[in-house]
Structure 1
């Protein structure tokens, strides 16, 4: 059963919708800046991040926004855009499902309310604390907003959460549980505790004096990733349902692979076997061969070890002909939102025949043997493209997209 993409929505460090996101990556813009204001004066080794360019609480009605965690706000903004882009599919509510992934959930609410209980006591805690901080909050609010009753699901697989949500959306359609699935991912966790935790793990870039050049996937001078925030949502439909209503189709989610390293809680398997299996599974599920895949939108976060491992895994799984790009160079790492936002970019790459450039790739690491687009966008027909997402816990998701 074929699954098509009829709607897309996003709010990211490059803008508050898909159009600004796409134009931003094609223009080679960066959403990374100093965020001393968000880190509240803590002396942290990293003081850069990539916040959403348009704060979601300025888009939603004020009363509604106050009842939601920032992650829930972002998910709603992206879902509304995606639903409108799909032309309001009109399916029976019992045939519409929601899957929204997140790595952490409403951490901003949890931290703010913890500060409040320590300063003013338990009587001052908001009665909305639990629904604002629960990880399934974004999916639940999207379900309520759009009247989706076929099931509401939350994937929580760290940086692979958004991509895993899309894979689950395909399963729901193929299993006959839904005709339409609102699927995506979200994260908003630019908080002192989170930044400090990543910094202590020595995974963040320390290029505080040069924020826009800090995230540099595949570059020999990379020194860690940059934390970002945002949301991406795609409307997945059973092809026959979309055709019957005359829907415009952006592309197809033709295959996926989900594997586990079972190796280390934060470090990838150095042999890359889990990543290789995920890529190969996505290709096989789509009924294609490695030779049919022209492009990979890489997970590539700009860490010293991770980028090299992924490049080697791609080469082993697909060969030497594929062309790579790494959008976290301008977006930062959106954690649970990354896989969904980057899937949107992959769909647009296939649809429009243009591969966005990787920023800050000034001296490619010699271990990376594959072609990485840098400098300017590259016009190229892309028959099939992989989008990779890999998360702490050894969780690997590869999604394969083809044209409409």
Structure 2
């Protein structure tokens, strides 16, 4: 472990997902193993017409006021999740932060794709004079982090990262380094994605990545299940408020969990397919554990990436089997929420934090039967018990592998 690489405190959580409009509702739905996929009118007539979307009760104008009109949906989700995380971290315990020592790191992949699609249609139908002057500032990738900074009056570093479906995890890892380095006392970190569009769905379908179980969408996302056939597209945002331990202690805030280690590695194997041997994923896992000064046998729980694709889940299962022969319980949130793409890792990190806090592992929604020969200890029902150490891992197109190690405070 590097000198000075101490753990950081997770003291606030914000979630806006297909499973719920806040952290409590999302946790309750995931814990119940309830799948959220449903037909989506915007996808009607396409090759895949269902997804996991946020409830219609989400009203950006009511929550954000007129500023919502200057934001793409992914930014709206991010700002609301960040507000929730700040409110959670300051419940009964004032923050009193120095805004120059507070940072933001936000992961996204598709950024403002819905804005670009709508403006392209306007250009084609009506001409360039009808393209919105807000098209660029509402949709470019850095705008979620920028709007969080504006909303919270934050003057420290504001970064956007993009490592495909590992982006949320990469953002949290980047935040850890800002805190460990002494540059920041507090960082808001996570991911946001709002890419449930006809074009995105058609493009993923052409890749062969999406489930086509349109006749039974609620059962379409099946992580680690023998009959999985692809992932279910989702949208959402999750933000963690993280502090240095001295900062949290100074204001009397007990953390939900500690983020003790992280690492990343790259497959350099294929643009979209994972390395079937999982060599880089294994390296990231072992390096993250070393960063946290944790031995593999100490890990009590794994929150897996597990998208419900045949190749991806098989490669991940093999890697987990090699690194953790003691077979700790493994869960996969995407059975309930679908795949939130760049926001997935942030959501799953937040769920892992809650698992540690409550001593409770949520089940894998829709799991019925595993792959022949697989010996993973899958959480097919909620698992109770102390969780001193847990791992959350994410993988993304381009061969990105990112791992977080979390511990009890």
TM bracket, shorter-chain basis: over 0.9
Structure 2: 5+ residue runs without aligned partners?
1-5
Matched with 2:385 is: 380
Between the aligned partners of 1:144 and 1:5, the Cα distance in structure 2 is: 22
1:117 aligns to 2:123 (yes or no): yes
Gaps of 5+ in 1: none
Change (3 A) 1:56 1:77: farther
Match of 1:272 among 271, 275, 278: 278
- In the TM superposition, what is the alpha-carbon distance from 1:58 to its structure 2 partner? 5.2
Match of 2:347, SS? helix
Alignment of 1:255-270 (within 5 A): 255-270=261-276
Superposed, 1:147-162 pairs within 5 Å as 147-162=153-168
Q: Give the one of 70, 75, 100 matched to 1:72.
A: 75
**Greater shift in the superposed pair: 46-55 or 191-200:** 46-55
Distance 1:178 1:141 in 2: 19
| Residue among 42, 46, 56 paired with 1:44 | 46
CA shift, 1:138, in A, is 0.4
Secondary structure of the structure 1 residue equivalent to 2:165 = helix
Q: Structure 2 matches for 1:3-402, cutoff 5 A?
A: 3-35=8-40, 37-39=41-43, 41=44, 43-53=45-55, 54-57=57-60, 59-87=62-90, 89-374=95-380, 376-402=381-407
Partner SS for 1:165: helix
Q: Deviations over 1:207-245 (max 9, x none)?
A: 001111000011111000000000000001000011001
Cα offset, 1:28, TM superposition: 1.6
Asked if the contact 2:35/2:366 (under 8 Å) is kept, the reply is: no
Contact 1:104 1:156 (8 Å CA) reproduced: no
> Quick one: structure 1 residues 6 and 59, their matched pair in 2 at CA, closer, same or farther if it must change by over 3 Å?
farther
Question: Could you tell me how far apart the structure 2 residues matched to 1:268 and 1:371 are?
Answer: 22
Rounded to whole Å, the distance in 1 between the matches of 2:119 and 2:392 is 37
Distance 1:371 1:383 in 2: 18
From the superposition, tell whether residues 223 and 343 of structure 1 become closer, same or farther in structure 2 (CA, over 3 Å).
same
Q: C-alpha displacement at 1:321, in angstroms? A: 2.3
Aligned-pair Cα RMSD in Å: 1.1
Q: Cα distance, 1:403 vs. partner?
A: 1.0
1:347-386 Cα offsets, whole Å, 9 max, x none, are 0111111110001111111242111011x31112211110
> What is the number of residues matched between the two proteins?
400
Q: Which TM-score applies when normalising by structure 2?
A: 0.96
Give the TM-score taking structure 1 as reference length: 0.97
Tell me how far apart the structure 1 counterparts of residues 230 and 294 of structure 2 sit (CA, whole Å).
Answer: 34
